[in-house]
Every structure is written in structure tokens, then in C-alpha cells.
Chain A
Amino acid sequence: MSGHDSKYFSTTKKGEIPELKEELNSQYKDKRKDAVKKVIAAMTVGKDVSSLFTDVVNCMQTENLELKKLVYLYLINYAKSQPDLAILAVNTFVKDSQDPNPLIRALAVRTMGCIRVDKITEYLCDPLQKCLKDDDPYVRKTAAVCVAKLFDINAELVEDRGFLEALKDLISDNNPMVVANAVAALAEIQENSTSPVFEINSTTLTKLLTALNECTEWGQVFILDALSKYKATDPREAENIVERVTPRLQHANCAVVLSAVKMILQQMELITSTDVIRNLCKKMAPPLVTLLSAEPEIQYVALRNINLIVQKRPTILAHEIKVFFCKYNDPIYVKMEKLEIMIKLASDRNIDQVLLEFKEYATEVDVDFVRKAVRAIGRCAIKLERAAERCISVLLELIKIKVNYVVQEAIIVIKDIFRRYPNTYESIIATLCESLDTLDEPEAKASMIWIIGEYAERIDNADELLESFLENFPEEPAQVQLQLLTATVKLFLKKPTERPQLMIQVVLQNATVETDNPDLRDRAFIYWRLLSTDPEAAKDVVLAEKPVITDDSNQLEPSLLDELLANISTLSSVYHKPPEAFVTRLKTSVQKTEDDDYVEGSEISVNPNDGATSPQATSSYVPQQAPAAAAPAPVPDLLGDLMGDSAAIVPVDEPVTPSGRPLPVVLPASSGQGLQISAQLTRQDGQVFYSMLLENNSQSVLDGFMIQFNKNSFGLAAVGPLQVPPLQPGSSARTMLPMVLLQNMSTGPTSSLLQVAVKNNQQPVWYFTDKIVLHALFSEDGRMERGTFLETWRSLPDSNEVQKEFTGITITSVESTLDLLAASNMFFIAKRKNGNQDVLYLSAKVPRDVPFLIELTAMVGQPGLKCAVKTPTPEIAPLFFEAVEILFMP
């Protein structure tokens, strides 16, 4: 062949199409071939050469493979637009599928499968049937893929003609390439079929594991992925599978390595031997790290996957934190992922090294990276209590450099640190105040203002500082306005002197009259009313102790994390979203019902800084979406305003009187103008109730009771109306109010706080707080298999374990203790003796299916109970300890 292909791209002055037509019909072979090349060239640059269809197809009958391939390429492109003409090619296709040359047979089948024209498809079946049983493996492997093509065009035809069975037979083919394609085709058909087509049993498992050793690298990926859906029947089988797969970790192809990792992680769930698991973790670490030596694109995929893996099994890479240090030439998307993992792997042991790195990153050039590094320092401070002080001193060092965006980012994270460690690091406030004038970003400003308000009593010139912000109140963004409002109220309550008094008037005026923002206006009205009705109550509300926040770097919900881990080495593991959230080409029949939950979960992970740490959350008494109130309303309506949705308030009429043990008093008669309320959450028959006792010690009849629960950590809300009859003076009523979970979730850290408002027609609204007793929330399905328990215990990092000793509790007998706990859905797993102490293991499950593992250690008859719990959400442990105290109360 002479000359360059690129000459085919040049155009002549004469009409191009007629000239090509002429050349295609030339009597000379070479000329025809050149002409077809020109046609293809025109096609690739987007020119319409479909009018040459017949002329090109005429060149199809040739022994020259090169020319034949070109014509086929053209056919695939234009058959759809010229279905009638495409029929002209059928005869040649059928003939070619019987050619002595296997390459031509394969080419014919391959091309026919790509032409999505019904009439052609009919003619495809016979040749395909033959080719699936061809002597030549190249033809068979092409035919295997062709079945998947046909299924995509006409699924019925595939089933009717028995192609599925033929495909399954190919799994036992002696050529690994054929096996790999058969597996790929079957997997795709299964994905798009509602009936079981391709299920892996122990026979196919053995076959495929054997084929794995001989396959090409790509075939290995197909097979490993198909196998990852297989659930081993027992630990021994799982170990066997893992043993066969482990050598794949040494493969140079990253896709093979990650698929093998996925498979091993999957089987590890079943393996019970700690030695085997420890060994596997050790084996997986070096190949995972080696993925970071690949091209940056692959590194990105590896890092997104590692991010998931370390959440589940932090020990795997606990000692490898250095490899996640950023290189100066890493692309920004790699650096950002490395930072995330560094935070996840940061521990008391390596924090000094990590801080040194973060400090360096914080002085780099890329602004986004610098910001993220500063935030990372703050997140480490929140995560590691013992390192908090060192983190803060690094932040202060950075603030002193006075790079504007560094200072602002530092102030935002320091606000979070104050929330995490209240009354510990306030000495640095003075340093922060030096940078006050340079703040120009809303989030940084809002954070600084929050700090000033929160610690107004310790900042001598707090009024001066806030006043400087007040001047521009109308121009500030909403975020800043809200903080200014709250901070000024705090200042006023803490230092009710003349100046703050003036300031509060200005702010309230601005925030109620001059603004269009309903959130701001509502908050201002509430403050206004609180302050004018009862300044002491206002103090209780506004200056109440805030729940402590926790680290958010382990953000993914356990159920989402598990699903993502099952999808390691797929797009899902890169996006950190379940496949349903982005795959649009999915069969509809298997749509999961819990879709929405997952999507929600993944959004949380996208915005790790929302909610828990935002300054708005500090004034948690204020609803975020309260309906706009035009003017101060009469007091009884305050309930509606205060708790949000007033339509949810339900009248109380039907009497019920169940009995129970004495309930704790939540509203004493002395505070309730004679109305006393005792209440507690309880659980009966799988349902949570708010068990209440209302006693009327006043002189008048009380009726029209209504109840409302504020947003809380478990989203507890009443299912129906509060059913209490009119209460005569001196009488009382009991009621069991059915509750639902997960209805009105509060953002922010988990807390046992349950705020309740009760009103009746005669009295003002009563607000009281109750504690959520955790054991009322343990669900009936919390029983765990022993193996699962062990596995879960082991898979959780030590930092998730929380312990507490109860010196005042005495266990009188193991059996009665277990009965007591079982009544609250804490299920007995195992018991062992440790000296003369009994150690009990129990499992439970809290809402959102979070496992809760309990270890109790005690000596029967002797005072003292040691209690250790391990759970993916250790922040609820204190609630559990409260529950223990209630349960074992004499």
C-alpha cells in the first residue's frame, strides 16, 4: 500500500459524492479499496455518505479481508438508516458465516450482531447457532458476545432459540477467552432479565476458578466480578475461594487487583478465624498501596475505594499513612482524596507527622487545597481529643501568617472545636479577634460572630465587636444576620447593660421590620416574645448547654457503607453512591424500595460540614422553616410557631388508662400551676409509646390537651392524638401515646434530649425536657449470629468502643439479668468466665439498623458492673449508659 491515509480526508473541487461513486464502481480492486477508505474517512468526520450505500455494499463480496472489514464498518454505521438496503447484504453475511476462513466467519457474525435491523436479525439466528459450536475458539468467543447483542435487540428470540443454554455450555469451554466472553454475556443478560438466568453454584464456581488461572487479564476481571456475587456456604468454602483468588493481587493490571480485593473483602465477611483475617489484611495492604504508583487516574479510583475500605477495616492501612502524603505534582483531585484518607487514618500515634504535613499543605499555592488542609487540621482536633491542643497551636501558627483565606478557614474550624471542647480553649479568642476586620466570607464571619456571642462574658469588648458588625446588618448575607441576631441576644442576656440593650433594639427592629427573610423574622419574633414575657426563661432557652458535636469523618451510614463495599471496584465506589442513584440503564423490576434512604445518605457524605457543625444548629430551639408570623400572636398559638407544623397538633379526647410502674416526673406541679406530668418512653410489642401520667392538682378543670415533640436525634414523633379526658381538679389520667421514629430528625449530634410541649385550654403552654431511654428503641430483630457478632466487633475500630463502670449496680444472678435485658431487646450471645467474674455478650439494634454490641463484666453478688459497648455510632453510648442505670435501678 502506498501513500498516506490522510489523503482520503482531502476534498476535490468536483462534487465529492459522484466522484466516489465512480471510484467505488471501478473495475480495479485497488481503486475500489481506496474509494471505500475515502468513504470511511468522510464518515468519521461526520459527513453524510449514506447515499453511497449500494455502491459500498457492492464491494462487500471480496476475498480481501481488509476491504471486507471496511465495508462492514460502513454497514454498521448506516444499516439503521437504510434498513431496506441492508437486506442486500444479508446473503453475503450468511455466505461469509460459512467461509473456510475462521476470521471471516467471526467477522460476519460480529457485524450482523451490530446491525440492529429486525430483518437482519432473523437471518442471524442460524449462523449464530453454528458459530457457537464452531471448531475455532476465535469464532466461538465472537459468537458468545453476539448472543448478548441479540438479547439486547430481541430477548425473546434468544430464549426461544435456546441460545442461553448454548451460552451456559460455553462456560465449560476449553478456551479461557471463550469462557470469559460467555461469563460476560451471561452477566449482562442476567442484569437485564427478571428471571434467574445465570446463577453461580458450586460447580460453576469450581469451573470458573480454574478458568481464572488461564484467562487473559480482562477475562479475569469478568470472571472475578461474576464470582463476587457468589455467597459461600460456610467459612471453609470462603477460605478456599480466597486462597484461589489471592495470587491475583500480584497482577500488574489494576483492574484485576481491585476485583480480587473486592472478592476477598466479600468472602472475609464469612470467615471466622481471626488469624486468617489478619493474614488477609496483611496481604491486601501492599497491593492496595501499589495502586498509588499507577497513573493518577487509576490512583483516583484506588483512593476512592480505599476511602471505603478503611472505614470498614481501618487496620488494613493503619501503618501506611505516609503513602497518602500528597506529592507536589499530584493532580488536585488526587490530593483532595489523599487528605480525606489522612484524616481517616490519623491517630494519636501518627498525629504529629500528619500535622506537619497539613501545616505544609496549608502554605501551598492552590487555594482550595489550602482550605481543605486547614479544615483537615480542625477535623483531627475534633476526632482526637488528646491531640486537640497541638492541632489548635498549628491553626494559631497559620493564622499568624495572615493569609486571608487561611485565617477565615481556621476560624470556621475553631468554632467547631469550641463546640467539641466547650470551656477549654477560650484563651485563644483574643488572637482570633485580631483578624476581625479581614473577614469577608459569610461562613467565617458567622463563625466569628457565634464565638463572640457564645463567649460574650469573657470578651471585655464583646459589645464593641458585635456593634462593628451591626452597622452593615441589612447588607449582610442571611447566614451572618442570623448569627448576629442570636449573638446579640446572648450578649444581652449575659450583660444586660445599657449598650447591649440599645443594640438588641436595633437588631430586633432590623430583623423584624426591615427584612424579607422569614427565617430571620421568625427567629427575631421568638426572641422578642421570649425576652418580653420572661427574661429568665429566655436565658434558659438561649443559653442552654449545647450538645457536644462529634467528628464527621466517618460519615457514611453503615448500611450505605456495606452496599458500597459490595460494589468495590465499580463506579458506585468512586461516586460513593449506590448504583440505583446513577445507573439509568437498569431493569425496572428490581428497583429497591429503600432508594430514597440511600440517596439521602450519599448526600450527607457530599456535604460533611452541613448540619452538625453549622452555627445555626446552636440555637436548636428555633425551627428552621417556621411559617412566617406577621405580628406577635397570642400566647397559646406559640406552640404552633415554636414546634413548627401547627397542623400536627392533635386534639385530645379519648380516655385510655393502662397501668405501669411509677413514671418519673417531668413537669412538677409547682412549675405547672398545679398540673403535674410524669412520663417515659417505653416499648411494647415492637411499638414505642410515650407513657404518661397527668395529675390535675389545680382548682379548675383542665381539658383540650395537646402534645408536640421537638426535633430530636431519633426523630421521635407522636403517631396520633394525645388521648386524655377532661381532668377534674384532683383527678389524674394515664395514657400510652404511640410514637414513630425517624419522623422529625434534628440535625446535630446525637443526644438523649427530648423536648416536649403540652398545652390545654386553660393554661399556658408547658415545656419540659425528658430523656430518650435507649432501650425503648432497641428493635426486636437485634439478635445476631455469634459469628456475625465476632466479625462486627472485630471490624469496628477500637475508637468505637466506649466503657463505663457502675459501682452502684449489683448483679444478683446472671439469668435474671439476661431476662431483664432480653425484655428490652438486648439479646444474649455468649458468656465466659474471667476469674470469678462473669462476662456477658449481648447484641441489640438501634434505629436505622445500626448494630450495638455490648459486653458486661460483673461478679455476681458484688457491687460493680463494667459495661463496654462497640457500635458504628459510638456517640449513642452515653445514652446506653443512662439506660443501664434506669434498668438496674433498685
Chain B
Amino acid sequence: MMISQFFVLSQRGDNIVFRDYRAEVPKGSTETFFRKVKFWKEDGNAEAPPIFNVDGVNYFHVKVVGLYFVATTRVNVSPSLVLELLQRIARVIKDYLGVLNEDSFRKNFVLVYELLDEVVDFGYVQTTSTEVLKSYVFNEPIVVAPTRLQPIDPAAIFTQGAKRMPGTAVTKSVVANEPGGRRREEIFVDIIEKISVTFSSSGYILTSEIDGTIQMKSYLSGNPEIRLALNEDLNIGRGGRSVYDYRSSSGSGVILDDCNFHESVRLDSFDSDRTLSLVPPDGEFPVMNYRMTQEFKPPFHVNTLIEEAGRLKAEVIIKIRAEFPSDIIANTVTIQMPLPNYTSRASFELEAGAAGQKTDFKESTKMLEWNLKKIVGGAEHTLRAKLTFSQEFHGNITKEAGPVSMTFTIPMYNVSKLQVKYLQIAKKSSSYNPYRWVRYVTQANSYVARI
């Protein structure tokens, strides 16, 4: 159950952090790892799996904001433990440093080593709780300005467009004091839903799924108890229902297929009134993860047409319609569509007066790309593309193009109808009234329309 080494490498393979806990892996493991990952070509796969073995050493890695977090071991450990640990180390370090990047690592390397020594001893995980670590770690973080926020950072989704939110708050360190000396009393509860939808070529929904997380980040002093109330009509588990009350599932109730909770959550009254109570530890953590396959209204409707238009020509029309209220705005929308590989040219035609839209044809990957800075609820947008082929196509052109995939972020909107009805903080005094931020966001995970 133990790891041998932990290290962090940059995208170029530079050593950023390296800690050997057991001195049983030969020197050069970082180079071995990097070479293997960079030039992976086994079983016909072009991408290295997260776990592999080279000369008796097992390498585990996850990629976080473009950095490789790696652990090695020589024994038959639990792989999910090691991968989860790597994710948690990244989270703890982010809690401390506010921002996770090469620069913040280098500026805080002493703190990072101090953390690593408390998190893992002789290869055994001790704790990954920022709260617990605070008692043992003495270095103070040097906060790096989040100038180059990586788009992969989940915090980044709130920093664009939505003015109601303090964008920097989520990237501030949990332990560092603010310049004024005092910390602002505030707590963030984010309901993040990643949705996957597959539309058939005729527009039917083949599969749909929501992976949701209620994420919390507390900056409250004194660790007060918190009560979080969810929808009262929340149900868990599809299995128990008979086929006859199937109709009621499309009614008002929210039915989760499955959910799990952070260890700090107490579920004493969850069964009766759907409230969770917890004393939030410091740092960012998921209060609850849930999964849903109950039907929901997909936020975008995609309509694609591809038609031959002459011997070496074809036309593509992509129409998207935003199926959410007009006070909601989706941002950073990208639509991609692979074109037949004998496509040599594509010329685009946007609708009249289109603003904040970009189109591109990536010659090397034969990929059509359409970016929209934002889409207002209810709006409809159309793209026309004229394709030129280098050879005559054979058979069915729809089989050689597509599917159309979409990525987007919709702040202040969630498709599951799961809600945090209220967020109660045990009061220390009558004047104690910390800031509470309850925020919703919907993101595309795999949003695909077949053609």
C-alpha cells in the first residue's frame, strides 16, 4: 500500500519536485518515465495509460494543469489509492498556494516539501486534509498572482463573463492572510454539472448523463457547522421503482442514480428532509458527487446537414439552438466536426451580423471548428461551410464526416434541477454574517450529435 517516490514534471520533462520515500527505485526514474510517456506506442494506443511498468517499477501518473504528477512503486499497491492520492496532493498544494503552476511551485518549494513530508511517510499516505495539515506545516505560502490562469482549472469557469462573482476568491490560498491582514469570512458552494449527451442522426437522444458535484471551499474562521438543504423531492436509486410509476419520473422529482459524500458529511436527517450537515474542513472538497441518467432537456439542439454539391464539392450546414432561458448566457462555445479526409479546402459563411464568432478548418486533422464567445438563451446560430475535395467521394458522405461535438460552459444554470435550497451557518454572534456564494454551472463533457 505504499509508494516509493513522488515527483512533479513539467510538460517539457523538467524536474519540479522530487521526493524519494523509500530509496528502492533506481536513479533515473524521472527520465525513464518521461521518455516512456512521450514516446508511448504500445498495443496500438498512442496515449500512455495512467499506469505502466518499466523494469519492475510501476509508474502512476495524472495530468493536472499541464503538469505530470507521478508516483512510483515496486509493490502490488491499490492503483486507485495512488491515483486518488496524486489528485489530492495537487489539490492540497493548490489549497496552500492558491494557484497551481510551475511558477508557484518554484516559489514555494520549501513549503511543498514540508507538505509532502506530512502527507506521506515512508510511502504511506498519512493525510491529505488541508485542515489537518495546518497544524503541522509552518511555512507560509508566497502567493503568485493568477495572471496565467489555466483554462483547465475548474475555478476558471467562474472567472469569465460572470461579474456577480469575485473571480479571484477561488484562487486565493486557504491559509494565507490577505494583504489587509484579516481574512474575509466567506464560503463558496458550487454545483458543477458535467453533462454527456449523444444525439442520433435523427435528433433523438441516445444516451444522456449528468455527473454532478457539490463543491465547497470555506474561508470561515472557527469552523462553524453548516447545514445544506437540497430539494425535498430528491430520490436516490432507479432500481426500486416499478415500471408503472415510470411516468412520475418525468414530473418534478429529481432522481439520482447514485451519490456519495465527503467523509465530513453527516447524513442524520438526510433521509427525512434532504439536509446535509457538516463542519467544513479548510480547503476545497466535494461535499457530494452524484450521477443522473434521468431525462433532462439538453441545453443545445444541434442540427447538421452535409450534402454533395457537385463532383468535388459538398456543403455543410450546422444549426445550433440554445434551449435555455434568455437571461442565461453560455460562454466559450466550441463546435467541432471531422470532415472527410480528402477535404482540401473549406470556406465558411456566417449569418449576417454575427459577432464574436470564429471559424477554422484545420488542414492536418481535417477538422472544422466553430467558436462562439457567447450564446444567449433562446438564440439560434447557423454556420454554412463549402467543402472542396481532392478526390471523388465514394459511397455515403455522411459516413465519412462527423460526429459534431460541442463544448460549452453555462454559468448560473443547471440541467438536473438539483438545488441548494438554503445554506445555514451556525451563528457565532448576531453580527456574524459571512458571505455565502452558491453558484451553478453546467459544462459539456461529451456532447455529441451524430450525422
Contact = CB atoms under 8 A, between A and B. Distances in A.
A187 interface: yes
A391 to B, nearest CB: 18
Nearest to B125: A218
A286 B237 contact: yes
Contact of A116 (B23, B261, B450): B23
A165 to B, nearest CB: 20
Interface in B51-95: 51, 53, 56, 58, 60-62, 74-81, 83-85, 87
Given A187-B1, A295-B62, A325-B207, A258 B109 contact: no
A585 interface: yes
A841 interface: no
Interface in A285-333: 286-287, 289-290, 293, 295-298, 300-302, 322-323, 325, 327-333
Interface stretch (A121-129, A266-274, A571-579, A776-784): A571-579
A574 B50 CA distance: 10
Interface in A235-259: 250-255, 257-259
Range for the number of chain B residues in contact with chain A: 35 or more
Nearest to B108: A5
Contacts of B396: 400-401
Contacts of A187: 1
A325 B122 contact: no
Interface in A24-70: 37, 40-41, 44-46, 65-66, 69-70
Interface stretch (B137-145, B300-308, B350-358, B420-428): B137-145
A1 interface: yes
B291 to A, nearest CB: 5
B343 interface: no
B184 to A, nearest CB: 23
A332 B49 CA distance: 9
A41 B109 contact: yes
A569 B80 contact: yes
Given A70-B110, A293-B291, A287 B446 contact: no
A731 B394 CA distance: 75
B286 interface: yes
Contacts of A103: 136
User: Which of A41, A257, A290, A323: most chain B Cβ within 10 A?
Assistant: A290
Nearest to B25: A585
A550 interface: no
B140 A1 contact: yes
A585 B74 contact: yes
A149 B122 contact: yes
A251 to B, nearest CB: 6
A571 B258 contact: no
B42 to A, nearest CB: 10
Secondary structure at chain A's binding surface: helix, strand, loop or mixed?
helix
B261 A302 contact: no
B249 interface: no
B80 A148 contact: no
Contact of A583 (B47, B75, B83, B260): B75
Interface string B1-29: 11000000000000101100011100000
Interface stretch (A167-175, A363-371, A755-763): A363-371
Given A145-B124, A216-B263, A333-B49, A255 B58 contact: no
Interface string B109-133: 1110110010001101111110000
A337 B49 CA distance: 11
Nearest to B144: A4
A105 interface: no
A133 interface: no
A764 to B, nearest CB: 49
A691 B203 CA distance: 69
A352 to B, nearest CB: 12
A806 interface: no
B65 to A, nearest CB: 13
Nearest to A103: B136
Contacts of A360: 403, 450
Contact of B79 (A138, A222, A327, A574): A574
Contacts of B394: 401-402
A415 interface: no
Interface string B411-451: 00000000000000000000000000000000001101010
A775 interface: no
B159 interface: no
User: Which of B17, B77, B78, B237: most chain A Cβ within 10 A?
Assistant: B78
A604 to B, nearest CB: 15
A46 B78 contact: no
B15 A46 contact: yes
A44 B17 contact: yes
B2 A297 contact: no
A103 to B, nearest CB: 6
B295 interface: no
A188 interface: yes
B50 A218 contact: no
Contacts of A585: 24, 56, 74-75
A571 B79 contact: yes
Contacts of B15: 44-46
B107 A44 contact: no
Contacts of B23: 80, 116
A6 B106 contact: yes
A282 interface: yes
Contact of B2 (A4, A37, A188, A254): A188
B38 to A, nearest CB: 16
Contact of B395 (A217, A325, A402): A402
B239 interface: yes
Contacts of B53: 571, 575, 582
A601 interface: no
A81 interface: no
B248 interface: no
Contact of A5 (B60, B62, B109): B109
Given A184-B1, A301-B51, A574-B51, A44 B18 contact: yes
Interface in A191-212: 191
Interface string A1-29: 10011100100000000000000000000
Contact of B289 (A5, A73, A293, A402): A293
Interface in A124-164: 138, 141-142, 145-146, 148-149, 152
A255 B207 contact: no
Given A46-B15, A258-B80, A69 B117 contact: yes
Nearest to A7: B107
B240 to A, nearest CB: 10
B43 interface: yes
B35 interface: no
B56 A584 contact: yes
A386 B79 CA distance: 39
Interface string A837-878: 000000000000000000000000000000000000000000
Contact of B44 (A65, A301, A325, A368): A368
A298 B83 contact: yes
B445 A329 contact: yes
B399 A290 contact: no
Given A289-B291, A325-B198, A327-B448, 6 more contacts: A65-B138, A73-B113, A188-B2, A286-B239, A301-B80, A585-B24
Interface of A: 1, 4-6, 9, 37, 40-41, 44-46, 65-66, 69-70, 73, 80, 103, 110, 113-114, 116, 138, 141-142, 145-146, 148-149, 152, 177, 181, 184, 187-188, 191, 216-218, 221-222, 225, 250-255, 257-259, 282, 286-287, 289-290, 293, 295-298, 300-302, 322-323, 325, 327-333, 336, 356, 360, 363-366, 368, 371-372, 400-403, 567, 569-575, 579, 582-585
17 contacts: A6-B103, A40-B110, A46-B15, A114-B122, A188-B1, A216-B263, A218-B128, A252-B288, A297-B62, A360-B403, A363-B400, A365-B365, A401-B395, A401-B396, A575-B53, A579-B76, A583-B56
8 shortest A-B CB distances, which residue pairs?
Answer: A327-B446, A286-B258, A297-B50, A584-B56, A255-B81, A368-B44, A293-B211, A218-B125
